[in-house]
Amino acid sequence: MTEIWNGLVKAVELIISFDPEVMQIAGRSLLIAVSSAVIGSAICIPLASIIHFNKFRGKRFLVSLIQTFYSVPTVAVGLFVFVFISSAGPLGGLGILFTPPAIVVGQVILITPILLGLTISALNSVDRTILDTARSLGAGGWQMAVLVVKEARFAVMAAVIMGFGRAISEVGISLMVGGNIRGFTRVITTAISLETSKGDIELAMALGIILIIIALVVNIVMNRIQQR
Partner 1 sequence: MPLIETRNLTQRRDGQTILKNINLRVERGEVYALIGPTGAGKTTLLRLIDILDTPADGKVFFNGVDVNSSDKIRLETRRRMAFVLQKPVVFNTSVYENIAYGLRWRGVDSRHIREGVEGILETVGLTMYKHRNARTLSGGEVQRVAIARAIAVRPEVLLLDEPTANLDPVSASKIEDLIAGIIKRETITVIMATHDMSQGQRLADRIGVLVNGEMVQSGDPREIFASPGNRQVAEFVGMENIIDGVVASSEGEVAAIDINGRIIEAVTEFDVGEAVSVCMRPEDITVALSRISSSARNSLDGKITWTVATGPLCRVEIDCGFPLVALVTRRSSEEMGLKKGKDVYATFKAVSIHVIRRH
Is 140 a binder of partner 1 (CB under 8 A)?
yes
**Is residue 137 a contact point for partner 1 (CB under 8 A)?**
yes
Give the C-alpha separation, 12 to 22, whole Å: 11
* Short-list 119, 224, 207, CA closest to 163: 119
Q: From the list 47, 62, 94, 130, which residue makes contact with partner 1 (rule: CB under 8 A)?
A: 130
Number of residues that bind partner 1 (CB under 8 A): 17
Looking at beta carbons only, is 13 or 127 nearer to partner 1? 127
- Cβ proximity to partner 1: between 59 and 150 the closer is 150
103 SS3 class:
helix
Residue 20 in the binding site for partner 1 (CB under 8 A)? no
125 binds partner 1 (CB under 8 A): no
Q: What are phi and psi of 101, to 5 degrees?
A: -55, -35
Only one of the segments 87-95, 105-113, 143-151, 161-169 lies at the binding site for partner 1 (rule: CB under 8 A); that segment is: 143-151
Instruction: Out of 14, 134, 145, 168, point to the residue binding partner 1 (CB under 8 A).
Output: 134
Q: Select the residue interacting with partner 1 from 139, 194, 209, 218 (CB under 8 A).
A: 139
Q: Which of 6, 64, 143, 223 binds partner 1 (CB under 8 A)?
A: 143
- DSSP-derived letter for residue 224 is H
Strand ranges (E), 40-181: none
Applying CB under 8 A, the span of 18-26, 58-66, 150-158, 187-195 interacting with partner 1 comes to 150-158
Closest CA to 76 of 196, 168, 184, 170: 170
Asked if 182 is part of the footprint of partner 1 (rule: CB under 8 A), the reply reads no
Choose, by CB under 8 A, the member of 147, 194, 209, 222 that binds partner 1: 147
127 binds partner 1 (CB under 8 A): yes
CA dihedral 91, 94, 95, 100 (to 10 degrees): -100
CB 86 within 8 A of CB 136: no
Q: Which of 59, 135, 182, 224 binds partner 1 (CB under 8 A)?
A: 135
**Residues making up the chain, counted from first to last:** 228
Rounded distance, CA 83 to CA 174, Å? 14
- Stretch 187-226 residues interacting with partner 1 (CB under 8 A): none
Contact 160, 48 (CB under 8 A): no
Check the CA dihedral 15-36-190-86 and report its sign.
negative
Q: Which amino acid is at 43?
A: I
Which residues bind to partner 1, rule: CB under 8 A? 127, 129-130, 132-140, 143, 147, 150-151, 153
